Amino acid sequence: MDSKLSSCSADACRVARSVILEVDLRAEIYPISMEHDIVDKLKLLCLSSEEKGEVSLEEIDVFKSKKECERSLLGKMFGSKKPNFAGLRNTLLNIWQTKEVFSVREIGQNLFQFVFASQEDKLKVLGGKSWSFENQYLILREWYDNILDHVESFTSVDLWIQVWNLPYHWITMETGRKIGIKFENILDVLIPKLGSSKGRCIKVLVEIDLAKPLLRETFIKLREESRWVDFKYENLQGFCSYCGVVGHLDKLCQKKRDDTKKNTLSGDNLASG
């Protein structure tokens, strides 16, 4: 083997080890992307015979952790703002009202594991409504073995949407179900009861993909009669009215900043031309 190459690999190995050591010492939590970077770098290195020798585990070695994971939920904050950990824990302890106290671990960037004392407590929380904290949705998923490989795809929540501007005689369950098809997944439809003061809109509970711009309206027709209907999202959190997506407010919108910059630049060009 080329001695220069071999020596470079050994150096790289030392560097990679020191990176891991530094990360371990500085914080218990570090971004998963950094973890992957380190693993990728190590794959390129020559391993010593000691390193190549595998460590065999028995089921009993991971039994306790597996049982905990089975009683847990993964929670992903949808947005870039890092929540206050103690504030999140205390707020959820108050609103979830589980029979026994649950524990929370921060396991990545805006990523948490909630470990419950029982399946009953876990399913109670999972079966509840959409949760949010500090204007960001907390997306919950039941734990499974490779869940951390799929975190990026967890972008949907269940939301109630009011459908306004319908002719009164079109307000039926069937109309609600057909309009609900516009969304990812329709879960429920409510039409106003006779005598209700909120008698002018249909409500649909739908699964929404927060990674896509929200629908604001749609066009419906019955023979020659047609109408634009408006969607109003109940308790919408962290919505940017500029680009129409959830996860940041207008003042933090990158698209708005980019557009403003472009307009300023084109304005400058016009002025100088």
Contact positions vs Zn ion (CB under 5 A): 240, 242-243, 253
Closer residue to Zn ion in complex, CB, 19/252: 252
Q: How far is the CB of 253 from Zn ion (least distance, A)?
A: 3
Q: How far is the CB of 244 from Zn ion (least distance, A)?
A: 7
Residues written for the chain = 273
Closer residue to Zn ion in complex, CB, 20/243: 243
Q: How far is the CB of 119 from Zn ion (least distance, A)?
A: 39
Q: How far is the CB of 250 from Zn ion (least distance, A)?
A: 7
Closer residue to Zn ion in complex, CB, 119/260: 260
222-256 core/surface letters (b: 16 or more CB in 10 A; e: else): eeeeeeebebebeeebbbbebeebbbbeeeebeeb
CA distance linking residue 198 with residue 215, whole number of Å:
22
Name, in order, each residue with C-beta under 8 angstroms of 76's C-beta and a sequence gap of 6 or more. 110, 111, 112, 138, 139, 141, 151, 154
Closer residue to Zn ion in complex, CB, 104/243: 243
Name, in order, each residue with C-beta under 8 angstroms of 20's C-beta and a sequence gap of 6 or more. 38
Q: How far is the CB of 265 from Zn ion (least distance, A)?
A: 20
Q: How far is the CB of 239 from Zn ion (least distance, A)?
A: 9
Name, in order, each residue with C-beta under 8 angstroms of 220's C-beta and a sequence gap of 6 or more. 166, 170, 175, 178, 179, 226, 227, 229
CA distance linking residue 73 with residue 154, whole number of Å:
13
Closer residue to Zn ion in complex, CB, 190/252: 252
Closer residue to Zn ion in complex, CB, 180/238: 238
